[in-house]
Amino acid sequence: MANIETSLKEAMAIEGAIGVALVDYTSGLTLGVIGGSPTMDMNVAAAGNTDVVRAKMRAVEMLGLGEDIEDILITLDSQYHLIRLIQTRKGGDALFLYLALSKSRANLGLARHQLRKIEADLDV
């Protein structure tokens, strides 16, 4: 079992990682953040992506799909933004890992695989 800090450090070790945050999408509270850049404030990005998660969850519910969201991918010209919803051991599911990646340096499939592993080991 890994704590928040360890999990965020593991995510930053993913090839091409720019920054990572663990976010409570109910409150919009950032529980931890590592990385970023002068043009990439991870706290602002994490808060903005809370709205993305909420909107997608509403859409899935309105469609009556009866499925859970695993992750949400946003592609920009030079970056991937990967949002991985977290199933916590304590029964809550209001968290997500947000990982920003450099498109030129990252392997998206491998990054998704590694983020799933980090989620499985995360103890919140």
Sheet holding 79-86, edge to edge: 30-35, 17-24, 95-102, 79-86, 71-75
Q: What's the pLDDT score for residue 109?
A: 95
Domains and CATH numbers, the chain: 4-105 (3.30.450.30)
Q: How far apart are CA 24 and CA 33, in angstroms?
A: 12
C-beta separation of 34 from 20 below 8 A: yes
Distance CA 58, CA 109 (A): 26
- Reported residue count of the chain is 124
Tell whether pTM > 0.95. Answer: no
pLDDT at 37: 87
19 dihedral zone (left: phi>0; alpha: psi -120 to 50; beta): beta
Kindly state the helix (H) or strand (E) to which residue 81 belongs, with its residue range: strand 79-86
* pLDDT of the residue at 99: 97
CA distance 124 to 122: 6
Q: What is d(CA 7, CA 12) in angstroms, rounded to the nearest whole number?
A: 9
Looking at residue 123, its pLDDT comes to 83
Question: What does each of the 124 residues of the chain score in pLDDT, given as a tens digit?
Answer: 689 999 999 999 999 999 999 999 988 899 999 999 888 999 999 999 999 999 999 999 999 999 989 999 999 999 999 999 997 656 566 899 999 999 999 999 999 999 999 999 888 7
